[in-house]
Chain A
Amino acid sequence: MWDVHVPPGNVAYFRSVLERRDYMVYAASNELRSRQMNSVLGNLWHLLNPMLQIAVYFVIFGVVLGVDRGEDYFVFLSIGIFVFGFTQRSTTSGANSINNNKGLLNAFSFPRALLPVTSTLTEALATVSPVMVMYVVALVSGVTPTWTWLLALPLMGIQLLFNFGWALVAARATSSVRDISQLLPFIFRLLLYGSGVLFDVQRYTEGRSYGWIFDFNPVYCIVTLVRWCIIGGEFRSDLLAIFLGWTVLVGLFGLVWFRAGEGTYGRD
């Protein structure tokens, strides 16, 4: 016999989460299907939404404010928005995953990490069409495809692991302090400007002493790395190292911290 209140070790716990892969796939596809169920254009929105997003930012930052007259600004902006959006949506839905599944939580016993992990996977599936749009935008804008285009995919694979970590952290944080879900949009607004999504950060930080802060921002790292894959330019191995470091750190911390709160989810 074993003590119910002594949680299984981290390894055993996450094995029991991974054993429920069928749930992840089923719940994720179910969620994606139901999202657009009541709209006229249905699944077309998975493509239209990212296209409209770039259109809006392009009109404001590219045309009205004239942030960057560079030829590739449209591609630059698209990559920034999609890569940034991937992490933003994963973290936000991870934060909401406990609250959105209260019915399931209160009805059955299962490892709770299943919920934020599934919500991250859902966002990863939802990101497939924006990524395709990203490649099409690059082609149409006249960027010559090279072998590095393919590198963007494993990079975003690492970003998925990074997102898992943040989803777990956000899920535990919002379930203990509900107010955090109110703060998240502002944190991401700040990150949007601090990650060089809309403009080239280096132009503004050149010669300034605080430029290194951006290099340690993981979202800036991944955005810059994916841009390098598609547009080219100088490869920043330091940013890759920093991003990998963040992924390992946040991933492990998220796993351990979320599991430690296992008995507290879903109660009011």
Chain B
Amino acid sequence: MAETDASAHTADTAVPRLTVAVRNLSVTYKVYEQPVLNARQILARGLRSRQASSVEAIRSVDLDFVAGEAVGLVGSNGSGKSTLLRTIAGLQPKSDGHVFVTSQPQFLGVAAALKPRVSGFRNVYLGGLAIGLSKEEIAERMDEVVEFSGLGPSMTRPLNTYSSGMRARLAFSIATLRTPEILLLDEALAVGDRAFRERSIAKINEIRANANTIILVSHNLNEIRQTCDRAVWLHDGVIERTGSVVEVLDEYENWSDDH
């Protein structure tokens, strides 16, 4: 920890500490043109393998992320943003290249469902224990979670009675129980209401200020403007542009308007 604090203080002067290094990364999905065959077709095909065409979701991407920065990934639907984020988390197999990290990234997906028939309280325990916290740590910080998520009395109700916004609020609160060194957010704030979004943005800024790295995928460009220093624009699995938020988002917006 001492090392992290030190680098936080010297972040302005010293060379920033690299936390995530993506090197020549490619991700290929295999797509089966004819996923369901009938028995005769299977017999006719024999032992030959199914004809698969592959889709290159990410093509030779190189990216560096340093401690204390928040980076927004933007791009149209199907540009490979979520795939890239999941691959950095190690949840999506790569086909080529490397993702180097300093610690296990904590990934939070869009409107995470958690355990539907279990109460909000118990979900905090299940999620917190799964990501490696102790029962005592969770008990200590439960009040904080209740306050931050703003769920109050709903915490005793099972999750299948929650709206998708409430679930997202709870999942975000759990994922940030222990400040992760590398936090990956895939539209995690998209369904939350305005009040929660503001609190989350404050939380993201706090996490970043503590010399951690945040990478977030969002279609809400304001969210990225409010939280990120840098933005990466992906198009068809390739980096179209990377740079300061203002520059990249302006260009991206102009491009989006034209298409």
Residues of A within 8 A of B (CB): 1-5, 16, 19-20, 22-23, 26-27, 30, 34, 101-104, 106-110, 114, 263-264, 266-267
Given contacts A108-B107, A263-B92, contact A20 B130 (CB under 8 A): yes
Whether the Cβ atoms of A107 and B171 lie closer than 8 Å is yes
Contact A26 B88 (CB under 8 A): no
Given A4-B89, A30-B126, CB of A110 within 8 Å of CB of B132: yes
B105 touches A106 (CB 8 A): no
> Whole-angstrom distance between the alpha carbons of A218 and B44 in the complex?
39
14 contacts between A and B (CB under 8 A): A3-B99, A4-B89, A4-B99, A4-B100, A5-B94, A26-B135, A103-B115, A106-B113, A107-B113, A107-B171, A107-B174, A107-B175, A108-B112, A266-B91
**How close is A144's CB to chain B, nearest CB, in angstroms?**
45
A30-B122 in contact (CB<8A): yes
What chain B residues lie within 8 Å of A27 (beta carbons)?
126, 129
In the assembled complex, B24 has its CB within 8 A of some CB on chain A: no
- Beyond A3-B99, A22-B129, A104-B127, is A34–B135 a contact (Cβ under 8 Å)? no
Q: Are A103 and B114 in contact (CB under 8 A)?
A: yes
User: Which residues of chain B are near A23, meaning CB under 8 Å?
Assistant: 126, 129-130
Enumerate B59-98 residues with CB–CB distance to A below 8 Å: 88-94, 98
Q: Which residues of A contact B91 (CB under 8 A)?
A: 109, 263, 266-267
Q: Are B131 and A109 in contact (CB under 8 A)?
A: yes
Known A108-B131, A263-B91; contact A5-B98, beta-carbon cutoff 8 A: yes
A110 to B130, CA, bound (A): 6
Beyond the given A23-B126, A103-B114, A107-B109, could you list 18 further A-B residue pairs with CB under 8 A, ordered by the A residue number?
A1-B18, A1-B100, A2-B101, A4-B90, A5-B93, A19-B132, A27-B129, A30-B126, A103-B113, A107-B108, A107-B114, A108-B108, A109-B91, A109-B106, A263-B90, A263-B92, A266-B91, A267-B91
Minimal beta-carbon separation of B16 from chain A (angstroms): 14
**Inter-subunit contact B109/A1 (CB<8 Å):** no
B30 located at the interface, meaning its Cβ lies under 8 Å from any Cβ of chain A in the complex:
no
Q: Which 10 A-B pairs have the closest CB atoms?
A: A107-B112, A103-B113, A23-B129, A4-B90, A1-B100, A110-B130, A103-B114, A4-B99, A263-B93, A106-B109
Point out the residue from A1, A4, A101, A267 that lies within 8 Å of B115, measured CB to CB.
Answer: A101
Tell me how many residues of B have a C-beta within 8 Å of chain A: 40
Q: Specify which chain A residues have a CB less than 8 angstroms from the CB of B116 in the assembled complex.
A: 103
Contact A26 B127 (CB under 8 A): no
The residue that B98 contacts in the complex, of A3, A20, A30, A102, with Cβ under 8 A, is A3
A20, B112: Cα distance in complex, Å: 21
Supposing A3-B100, A102-B113, A103-B113 touch, asked if A110 and B131 sit within 8 A by C-beta, the answer is yes
Kindly report which residue of chain A lies nearest to residue B101, judged by CB atoms: A4
A4 touches B131 (CB 8 A): no
Contacts of B106 in A (CB 8 A): 108-109
Q: Which residues of A contact B100 (CB under 8 A)?
A: 1-4
* B92 nearest CB neighbor, chain A only: A263
Is B53's CB within 8 Å of the partner chain A?
no
Tell me whether A4 and B105 are in contact (CB under 8 A): yes
Docked CA distance A108–B175 (Å) = 7
Contact present for A26 and B109 (CB under 8 Å):
no
Contact of A114 among B102, B130, B135, B174 (CB under 8 A): B130
The answer to whether B174 and A108 touch across the interface, beta carbons within 8 angstroms, is: yes
Cβ of B238 within 8 Å of any chain A Cβ, yes or no, is no
Chain B's closest residue to A103 (CB) is B113
Q: Tell me the nearest residue of chain A to B100, going by C-beta.
A: A1
**Contact status A34-B118, CB under 8 Å:** yes
